[in-house]
Amino acid sequence: MRDFFIRGFEAILSIILIVAAIGIVIAAGVAAFGNASIEGAPAGMQGPLAGLAILIVGFIGLIVYGGLLYLGLGIYHNTRRTAELLEARGGRL
């Protein structure tokens, strides 16, 4: 049952990261080619430059966020494998 939740979390995490990447690309496209002005943005930060900034910062954030979540899953899998190895050896180091 525990593996079901971990596998489910991995699947949901993958879907969330893919949807977030698509959202970043859409937001960058709207900022780059849309007619809306971004309130509070510096004078030169309009149009394609704003879209490029959204792409760069958005994907850096997505990589950091996804990396941290996958790091947590990796720690879980390593801990599980270590416990299985120790059980197979009879609990002795």
In the chain, the N- to C-terminal Cα span, in Å, equals: 29
Comparing CA positions, the residue from 10, 27, 36 lying closest to residue 61 is 27
Tens-digit pLDDT profile for residues 9-63: 999 999 999 999 999 999 999 888 876 666 666 666 778 888 899 999 999 999 9
Which phi and psi (to 5°) does residue 45 adopt? -95, 60
pTM: 0.77
- How far apart CA 81 and CA 84 sit, in angstroms, is 5
Number of helical (H) and strand (E) elements in the chain, helices listed first? 2, 0
